[in-house]
Chains A and B, each alone.
Chain A
Amino acid sequence: MNKPLFQLVEMQIKEFFREPEILFWSFFFPIAIAGVLGVAFVNRGESVNTVAVIATQTNDAPIPSLQSVLEDTSGLRLVSMSLEEAELAMKRGKIALYVAKDSVNKGWNAYFDPLNSEANLAFLSLKNSLLEKNQTPILQASHITTPGSRYIDFLIPGLLALGIMNSCMWGIGWALVESRIKKLMRRMVATPMKRSTYLFSYISTRTFLAFIEALTVFLFAYFVFGVSIQGNIIAVLLTFLSGVAAFAGIAVLISSRAKNTQVGNGLLNAVVLPMTILSGVFFSYQNFPDWAVSIVQYLPLSMLADSMRAVFIEAATLADIAGKLLLLTLVGVLCFLAGLRIYKWY
């Protein structure tokens, strides 16, 4: 058996594992990011600190009073939510802290992750404001460290999404541009080998390698930080595949015409950089202005990261994320077809 597809995939995998630098950037680097950010940098980086105040059915009176007391507290915005809403908002990074009435000692309890410096800050300023105003309600700190609400829980699904994007964009997009620059592509497609086989080999190889990369990062996070998947593993896998489909398609489109390093690099960065920054991999984009959020949430990386995060920490079901996954796949297929139409083989 000496099938072209098999040989092409074998070639790319060998090429991959024979380049120590590539191995470093693909495996070690994401793990290093996860490690450094997970341990040291627990700030979620909200530009505005939103504090949720839990509305209680039994007694609604204290809430407006707390809000009126804290009206002019600088940098804090109070919103009322139900307990479920507040927990979800916390997992999504929309809020760093929520306050609920303590039924036992008639005071207030602030719930937050003590490792999150921003939450600590919010807690202190809340407490100060109350003291300054000589208010009777006493604010007590209640630490929550349940899995799913820590920064690392927020970070890892995002990093996996980022990894999928980078793996596809560079592993397919850049590899194709490079093979065009080296004139290897034109040499290969001058043989009877099918062009679809050629492109498909790159996509297959990347699906495999991106999976290994994602698995490595996840296992690291699992064993070192106890990050776990709350949702269904099938949903995670389908999210992964939709992500690969989306970015493989985009990569083929991006690589369809570029015939020198500068253009290829420029195009890839033009796609990769904005999404890396905007799509909420490291920090939630929920605090952007509303008009920005309405755009950013449909960036492919945002959709991928959000779906991944939903399954990881909110135990979202397949049905919950199906819309986004279909959209991702559609983006991939459309880009792939567009790329194929204008593809420059020679």
Chain B
Amino acid sequence: MHSEKQKHSFEPKIIAFVCTWCTYAGADLAGTSRMQYPSNVRVLKFPCTGRIDPVFILKAFQQGADGVLVSGCHPGDCHYIAGNFHARRRFAAFRKLLEFVGVDLNRLQFSWVSAAEGGKWVEVVTDLTEKVRAMGPMAEFKQLALEEQWSGTIGTPELKEAYNAI
């Protein structure tokens, strides 16, 4: 399954935001089935794609991710009834925004991977890694981060202070 490891000049950083019930379990299944895929991906587990705040995606890019994957249960299969529908709508709007800001949407992938789809997980991760590798490093956000230490979450000291004060 796994071809001879090639040396690449660029190893992209891929961050995956996944839900526990479907995609995380699907990735587990890929493991128990001993499927092979590029080691570039780091997985962050959420209860539901509904919990994934678009800010996390920005944060990931800012933190040096070259590609981001968001993946959850298939529409209609949400463990939490409808969380993934909310996620879908939210990300549809968010993609537009990213596009507007000038981010290449090929760096951000959405997919539905069920707990039974170990193979699909491998496919999705491999495809995204190769695609992003071909695109090269993601410079835009790192630049932005340097410029104004921007953060959309309570990660900044000011916000944190305000947060603690309440």
A binds B: no
Spell out B's residues near A (CB within 8 Å): none
